[in-house]
Amino acid sequence: MHPTNTPAVLVTGATGRIGRLIVGRLLDAGLPVRALVRRPDAAATLPAQAEVFTGDLTEPESLDPALTGADAVFLVWTAPPDSAAAVVERLAARVRRVVFLSSPHRTPHPFFQQPNPMADLHAHIERLIAAAGPEATVLRPGMLASNALAWWAPAIRAGQAVRWPYGTAETAPVDDRDVADVAARTLYDPDLAGGDHVLTGPESMTQAAQVRAVGEALGLPVPFEEMTPEEFRRVSEGSVPGAVVDMLLGAWNAAVGRPAHVTTAVADLLSEARTFRRWAADHAAAFRPSAS
């Protein structure tokens, strides 16, 4: 446990899939946590011990109350780029340490080298942070294991085959819990400050093998059927931005026939990295057909 006079840590994106986990990890470590939310009602799902602040990255001055007296900030950018410079300037003026959730856009593996507006924004914010001068740690998770919930769970719950493009494309999904654990550690452990970490799962797996792993966790056969890129574009229209669809299809196409980029960063920092099969077993209930 940390002493009661320990400075607070501010978590932006606190109700997101990574931010929510980080809030819990920091509380478990005994740190005072501030959770930034855009709407007060969104805080209802956060732990009661977290101090909730309402603020918006598009209105940099709205962050001041949450930053005053804080020592470190977990930054995940969830807004247009226009206000990034002003937000980073405010962070640098008020806190000692920033942990930024970026992406592996510097990684030479072709999976990460597709045109990607979000990666361009991440690179821009990294430059702003470097120029502003706070103690900065950059985390670069690859594909998140939890994407499987959005991509494949609806079909599996309905008892249908998973139709998906580029089934032979290999990725190394990283468990969201590992990303949160690394983020929490880098927020409070001075020995881990200032790093730049590409976070992946420990194993390269084809997308079809990942679907099979979910089926194994359920104890049910889950058929995989190849979908054409054109069909993927059609079914994604209206729900996924076109630039994201282009990036995903390009990345998966580039990942066919070659192992995914795998790092040991998670295990180096946490002593162990969760496998995708473990993630699937721990989240099997979210995939289980209602009739089973």
Nearest to 212 by CA among 142, 146, 287: 287
How far, in Å, CA of 56 to CA of 77, rounded? 11
The whole model's pTM is what? Answer: 0.95
Strand partners, 34: 10, 51
Residue in the block written with tokens 């282009």: 246
- Report yes or no: 58 and 86 within 8 Å, Cβ to Cβ: no
- Report yes or no: 35 and 74 within 8 Å, Cβ to Cβ: no
Q: Residue-wise pLDDT tens for the chain (292 aa)?
A: 444 567 899 999 999 999 999 999 999 999 999 999 998 888 888 999 999 999 999 999 999 999 999 999 999 998 999 999 999 999 999 999 999 999 999 999 999 998 888 889 999 999 999 999 889 999 999 999 999 999 999 999 999 999 999 999 999 999 999 999 999 999 999 888 889 999 999 999 999 999 999 999 999 999 999 999 999 999 999 999 999 999 999 999 999 999 999 999 999 999 999 999 999 999 999 999 975 4
How many of the other CB atoms lie within 10 Å of CB of 51? 13
